[in-house]
Amino acid sequence: MIRFLAAAVATMVAVTIGASSASAAGMGMVDFTGTSSTGYLGGGASPIPRATVMYNGNYAPGTIVVNTAERRLYLVLGNGQALRYGIGVGRDGFRWGGVHKITAKKEWPEWTPPSQMIARRPDLPRHMKGGIENPLGARAMYLGSTLYRIHGSNEPETIGQAVSSGCFRMTNDDVTDLYNRVGVGTTVVVKN
């Protein structure tokens, strides 16, 4: 009888723990790495998790460094460290380099494809309201007078790939994290 009762209690504890974990995952709870377990912003988990790493570069803290060859974006923290994010970059023929500043930041931005993109893809909508289906995702940071942005994506599987028309894609969770850490005027160095 005692064995039966112990087995029943152990089963109830396991079910309770499993239900609590499933409930937390369903609510998009943040795990110990600071990333959402379900991608509550619709971007899913990045195949390249963000991490604080050692970083040797002559950039002031707060500078964003995009390394297109690595398909990584670094936010310089100082003291030889940076926060590293996985990104999607421009496909062949659409990669670029230079130094710009963030000139605008928008939450759930609207998207109007530029005429060059419409010429390549006439099937694209002429305008899209912001939202989870919008290819700019949850946040966008506009780079100088260019057509390019650092923006979110609802296609986390593209992170680490060369698929864009020159913009830098991040998961919605990662772009929101970066968006909250930088301001208009932040220097962005793009290394091609």
Contact by Cβ (8 Å): 137, 157: no
- H/E element holding 65? strand 64-67
Helices then strands (H, E): number in the chain?
A: 3, 11
Nearest-CA neighbor of 156 among 176, 129, 137?
137
The reply to whether 167 belongs to the active site is yes
In angstroms, rounded to a whole number, what is the distance separating the alpha carbons of residues 52 and 150?
A: 19
Marked catalytic residue, from 71, 149, 151, 169: 151
| Spatial CB neighbours of 74, under 8 Å, sequence gap ≥ 6 | 53, 55, 57, 64, 65, 66, 67, 82, 83, 84, 85
Candidates 87, 138, 143, 167; catalytic one: 167
Q: Is 100 a catalytic residue?
A: no
Query: In 8-71, where do the E strands start and end?
Result: 51-54, 64-67
What does the alpha-carbon distance between residue 163 and residue 157 come to, in Å, rounded to a whole number? 11
Question: Which residues carry out catalysis?
Answer: 151, 167
